[in-house]
Amino acid sequence: MSYTHHEVLNPATGQVIETVPATTAAEVDAAVARAAEAQQGWAAAAPADRARQLRRFAAVVDEHLEELARLEVREAGHTIGNARWEAGNVRDLLDFAAGGVERLNGRQIPVAGGLDITILEPLGVIGVIAPWNFPMPIAAWGTAPALAAGNAVLLKPAETTPLTALRLAELALEAGLPEHLFQVLPGAGDVTGNALVEHPGVAKIVFTGSTRVGKQIMAKSADRLKRVTLELGGKSPNIVFADSDLEAAVAATPMSFLDNSGQDCCARSRVLVQRSVYDRFLELLTPGIESVVVGDPFDEKTQMGPLISQAQLERVRGYAPEELKGIRGTAPEGPGFWFPPTVLTGLDPDAPAACEEVFGPVAVVLPFEDEADAIRLANATEYGLSGSIWTRDVGRAIRVSRAVAAGNLSVNSHSSVRYWTPFGGYKQSGVGRELGPDALTAFTETKNVFISTEA
């Protein structure tokens, strides 16, 4: 969709909070040229200087943490506690990436008649296309390691959430990063985002968003053999065995799919429960769902805020109409994009809500018979991003972790994203990995040089 300006709404009220100009394809072109020039100087700078500048950027983000968090609450409806974590995650990622600049080592490989070395060179200009569900952290997952590896970054934030990204670009300049090295280009996906994908001067695209758009980006990138990292959708299982600490498994279930109002690619939205404890699980879960505090995201006590937009609200409603059986919590009435915490029961495993990514505060609970049945059900999805396994049997925890085809699993926990461990999906959930010890390497080409000692 083409437009010259985009209205940014506060999802808790539905009110316009700001109007942001959209970047045209011609402006993307000019931004790529400026970025390419800035990248030359950046790549040539001493590693210690690049590291120091990124640390300074991290420090400036830290000084503005509360401001960034409050901006995120306003444009994305995140709870203030989550938003503070998100701004802190940007700071931590910049520090982590800065630590890698001086450790981006090549290798020396034994050969006869000379010396063979590998050099990790920056790719050039990187296009980061970010979604609206975690605007700050996901932007930083691509941006921080790309900059650290000596690249320039052009970041296209989602249409609904450009404000924190624009502020981060200002803070980068305040921290002393070279002009044009990190530019934020708000605009429509199929105009501004597409211009980055099609631009010959952009060496790699890092995309997080829907599987549908991810496939289009990969197909277009194939034409130029442009590098891509894709973080796409998920429909992650939360597998609860009868031999688990059931109370602990139940207690952790609500926020495992309600955090960020369920707009999380790692949301554990398919709860698989062993049949022998299925009724007990639901009985214990009911008060946990009914008592989730949904409301003003600025209120420190709030656990869940609104959905991002009217469109997302309607999409979620379509998956969980009132007539479906289950457990439902409460949500505010009136303006804003609110949907209550919802657990659907009695659905077929192939019902849309049980196998498609809802991206809202909706989970389904399905019973399973034994370990083999749990693995079969867990893998009966086109996605493979994350998942959780609740059991006290260590052997079973390891067997099931090996058998579930997903990139990020947790045992007796729902954690999955840490900036210092790798993150990414199997199957339709993505291509490539972000974060972790190899985060910088994903933004480099390996060059092998043989130097003869015979001449």
Active site residues: 231, 265
**Near ligand NAD by CB under 6 A: residue from 60, 197, 267, 417:** 197
135 in contact with ligand NAD (CB under 6 A): no
As measured in angstroms, the least distance from the Cβ of 281 to ligand NAD is 26
Q: Does 444 bind ligand NAD (CB under 6 A)?
A: no
Q: What is the nearest approach in angstroms of ligand NAD to the Cβ of residue 20?
A: 13
Residue 287, by phi and psi: left (phi above 0), alpha (psi -120 to 50) or beta?
alpha
Residue 261 makes contact with ligand NAD by CB under 6 A: no
CA distances from 455 to 116, 142, 265 (A): 15, 43, 56
| Pick 51 or 385: Cβ nearer ligand NAD | 385
Nearer to ligand NAD, 95 or 231 (CB): 231
How open is the CA angle 408-144-443, to the nearest 5 degrees? 75
In angstroms, what CA-CA distances link 208 with 29, 127, 293, 390, 434?
22, 12, 29, 28, 11
Per the document, the length of the chain is: 455
Continuous segment of H or E residues that includes residue 306: none
User: Strands (DSSP E) along 140-203, which ranges?
Assistant: 152-156, 182-184
Greatest extent of the chain over all pairs of C-alpha atoms, in Å:
82
| 75 is an interface residue for ligand NAD by CB under 6 A | no
Query: Which position among 190, 279, 283, 438 is part of the footprint of ligand NAD (CB under 6 A)?
Result: 190
Span of 48-56, 70-78, 127-135, 172-180 interacting with ligand NAD by CB under 6 A = 127-135
Interactions with ligand NAD, residue window 146-175 (CB under 6 A): 156, 158-159
Is 259 a binder of ligand NAD (CB under 6 A)?
A: no
194 in contact with ligand NAD (CB under 6 A): yes
What is d(CA 121, CA 229) in angstroms, rounded to the nearest whole number?
A: 18
**Should residue 132 be labelled a site residue for ligand NAD when binding is judged by CB under 6 A?**
yes
| Closer residue to ligand NAD, CB minimum distance, 296 or 357 | 357
Per-residue mark of binding to ligand NAD, 332-361 (x: CB under 6 A): -------------------------x-x--
Residues binding ligand NAD: what is the number (CB under 6 A)? 25
Whether residue 188 contacts residue 22, with contact meaning beta carbons closer than 8 Å, is answered with yes
d(CA 424, CA 386): 9
List the one residue from 122, 124, 142, 193 that touches ligand NAD (CB under 6 A). 193
Q: Are 324 and 334 in contact (CB under 8 A)?
A: no
Interacting residues of 230 by C-beta distance below 8 A, sequence separation 6+: 207, 208, 214, 217, 218, 430, 431, 432
Using alpha carbons, select from 139, 267, 188 the residue that is nearest to residue 23.
Answer: 188
The site map against ligand NAD for 214-243 (x = CB under 6 A) is --xx-------------xxx----------
Q: Which stretches of the chain bind ligand NAD, using CB under 6 A?
A: 129-133, 156, 158-159, 189-190, 193-194, 197, 208-210, 213, 216-217, 231-233, 265, 357, 359
